[in-house]
């Protein structure tokens, strides 16, 4: 069975609708994600924390959700690529108004900086 074996009338009717719906959908997609990204980045730059990492969970895109002093912080900015380097017991600090995140590793005290370069 050929899955392309549809009636030409049906194809034409669908394509008429597509002509109008597709560009509208495209504009909605672009505007929605432009606004949601800008909104998240504003939130990310405002984050302020310092302390020992009590828990860290990485999502499907490897962005971490860290718990510090009982508060959860989702570090999902595209200006940070933590590459699973944050582990429980590490020390992290970030000031509001900057992207710079300082990670001090538990073993050996190695300092790793993440920033919008």
Partner 1 sequence: MRYIVPDMLSLNYSATGAMIVGLGGGLSVNLITRGPHAGIYLTGNISIRVGVQVDRGLSGTRAWFTGNVEDISIDSYLDTGIDLSGAYYIGAAAFVSPNSQGNVSWYGITVGKAGFGASGGWGKTFLIKGWEFNSMFK
CA-nearest of 61, 28, 66, 34 to 49 is 66
Using CB under 8 A as the binding rule, whether residue 108 contacts partner 1 is answered as no
Locate 37 and state its tokens.
């990204």
Residue 66 CB, nearest approach to partner 1 (Å): 14
Cα–Cα distance measured from residue 84 to residue 2, given in angstroms and rounded to the nearest whole number: 46
Under the binding rule (CB under 8 A), the answer on residue 50 touching partner 1 is no
Q: How far apart are CA 53 and CA 55, in angstroms?
A: 6
Q: Is 33 in the site for partner 1 (CB under 8 A)?
A: yes
Residues within the interface to partner 1 (CB under 8 A):
3-4, 6, 11, 14-15, 17-18, 21-22, 25-26, 29-30, 33, 36-37, 39-41, 43-44, 59-63, 74, 76-81, 83, 116-117
């Amino acid at each position: 069975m050929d899955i392309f074996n549809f009636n030409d009338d049906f194809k034409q009717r669908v394509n008429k609708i597509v002509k109008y719906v597709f560009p509208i959908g495209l504009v909605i997609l672009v505007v929605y994600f432009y606004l949601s990204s800008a909104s998240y980045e504003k939130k990310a730059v405002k984050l302020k924390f310092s302390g020992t990492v009590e828990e860290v969970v990485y999502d499907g895109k490897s962005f971490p959700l860290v718990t510090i002093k009982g508060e959860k912080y989702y570090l999902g900015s595209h200006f940070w690529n933590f590459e699973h380097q944050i582990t429980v017991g590490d020390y992290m600090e970030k000031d509001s108004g900057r992207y710079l995140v300082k990670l001090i590793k538990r073993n050996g005290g190695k300092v790793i900086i993440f920033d919008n370069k």
